Amino acid sequence: MDNDSTISKSIEDQYLIHGKINNNIPIIVHLQGGAYPQFLLEIQGEKGVIRLYQNQSIGHPQYGGMNVSIANYDSTHHIFSSQNSDFTVLMEDNKEAPFTNVFRAHQSFAKDIQWNTNETPDFHDASYLHRLISAIEVSAETGEKIDNI
């Protein structure tokens, strides 16, 4: 809608989020609850599309089984479609998910301990994620823009 009006949501498990990354890159995210045939995230830019997806989704992409593909194009040309055949697969995660998720977490913890790194998400990462989810919920309820998370 182009009139800046707020529409009451009629489905509890859907959120549409508009914002900017680094204060200048526009982003739109549509989150839907439930298990759909495929989890799909597309990042579209001037030089192509990056597609992150989970076939036969169980509704939880954090469990793994994610794949990444890319379609390159020249932004001066009109794009007629973005069919699967237009994409080149860059990475496939063929591990059994979600059962290997705990194993991978333990591997990450062990690597951080062994090499004295901090690559495994910690309490602060989880806290930020909870604040982000809370801000999305407040924004959905009030219709207000949330600036600080």
Count CA atoms within 13 Å of residue 68 on its CB side: 5
Cis peptide before 26 (omega within 30 of 0): no
112, 118, 121, 126: CA torsion to nearest 10: 140
- The range of the structural domain enclosing residue 51 comes to 36-95
Has this prediction a pTM greater than 0.75?
Answer: no
108 assigned to some structural domain: no
80 assigned to some structural domain: yes
Strand, helix or coil for residue 123: helix
Interval 93-129: pLDDT, tens? 766 655 566 777 788 888 999 999 988 888 888 888 8
Q: Which amino acid is at 131?
A: R
pLDDT on residue 105: 79
Whether 10 has a pLDDT exceeding 60, the answer reads yes
67 assigned to some structural domain: yes
Q: Are 57 and 41 in contact (CB under 8 A)?
A: no
Sign of CA dihedral 93, 95, 98, 101: negative
Strand, helix or coil for residue 20: strand
pLDDT on residue 1: 43
20 assigned to some structural domain: no
Count the domains in the chain.
1
25 assigned to some structural domain: no
